[in-house]
Amino acid sequence: MQPPDYDKISALTDKSVSPTFHATQRKQIRKFQRLISFGKKRMDRASRNTSTNKGNNDDMKKANSVVNLSQRQLSKTESNVLALGMNFATTPSKIPVEEFIQSIEPSIHKMDKEKADNIRIQIHQVLKHSKPPKSNITRLEHQAINSLRNDSSIHILKADKGNAIVIMDRTEYDHKVQDILNTDTYTCLKKNPIPAVERKVAAKLLSLNRSSALPTPLYRHLRPSSSKCPRFFG
């Protein structure tokens, strides 16, 4: 949906909604707000459990989960945010309306027009009255994340084994990567061989399917598509 279309629907909705729709709207808003409240309570419980679990052992775990091999001296706050892990996500500062619309549109695109428009209207009303969740990090932690992100002299990565987060000097990291690439383990390809391999595999699977040796559901599951050539990741 293009922004002008969204604005048009928004304007029409505000003028034409009925009392019945207002009741439905309030119900949907309450559901959405309960979900946000439930998620916040879960995060609060998890935060309390983390802060009280095993006392001093918690600091030991954090120290063991962050390995600083760089020349940069990490502050306690920086160490704490790094110890949260690479999969930790901060709460958004605003409701991502555009992302919601983009993710929902493909699902309702093939629906009956009236039904799809009704869903769009309800979603618009819910998003219009929703507020972003409370931040799950402090202001100092936010500053620490930005400081680490903007430091081009270091490289932060996850260790090969375990859940440790490793901080290395960028120059040393680049040197180690180049040493690995200079061995016989990796070869620079002149041409991507994956499309040819994919065609051969697909042709063989199709042959097995046509000879009744491979059931159609399994054939569709095994048939490769959009395959990618393996790449080096440091």
pLDDT, position 70: 95
Ramachandran angles phi, psi of 67, nearest 5°: -110, 110
pLDDT, position 39: 57
Ramachandran angles phi, psi of 49, nearest 5°: -65, -40
Q: Could you state, in order of their start, the residue ranges of all structural domains in the chain? A: 3-146, 190-227
Contact 123, 100 (CB under 8 A): yes
Percentage of the chain modeled with pLDDT above 70: 72
Window from 57-66, 96-105, 152-161, 217-226 with minimum mean pLDDT: 57-66
Is the confidence at residue 88, as pLDDT, over 80? yes
Average pLDDT, the chain: 79
Rounded-to-integer distance, Cα 9 and Cα 104, Å? 15
Contact 133, 89 (CB under 8 A): no
Rounded-to-integer distance, Cα 52 and Cα 60, Å? 14
Question: Quick one: pLDDT band at residue 222, thresholds 50, 70, 90?
Answer: very high
Mean per-residue pLDDT for 28-38? Answer: 59
pLDDT, position 54: 44
pLDDT in tens, 164-201: 899 999 999 999 988 888 888 888 888 889 999 999 99
Question: Quick one: pLDDT band at residue 86, thresholds 50, 70, 90?
Answer: confident
Where helices occur in the chain by DSSP H, the ranges are 3-16, 19-52, 56-65, 76-83, 97-108, 113-128, 139-150, 170-181, 194-210, 216-222
pLDDT, position 45: 59
Is the confidence at residue 41, as pLDDT, over 70? no
Q: Which residue has the tokens 């929902």?
A: 104
Contact 183, 114 (CB under 8 A): no
pLDDT, position 217: 92
Angle between helical axes of 76-83 and 56-65 (0-180°, round to 10): 80
Rounded-to-integer distance, Cα 138 and Cα 144, Å? 10
Burial environment of residue 113 by CB neighbours within 10 A (0 to 12, 13 to 18, 19 or more): exposed
Q: Which residues contact 29 (CB under 8 A, 6 or more apart)?
A: 125, 126, 129, 130
Both tokens assigned to 173: 């990291």
Contact 79, 66 (CB under 8 A): yes
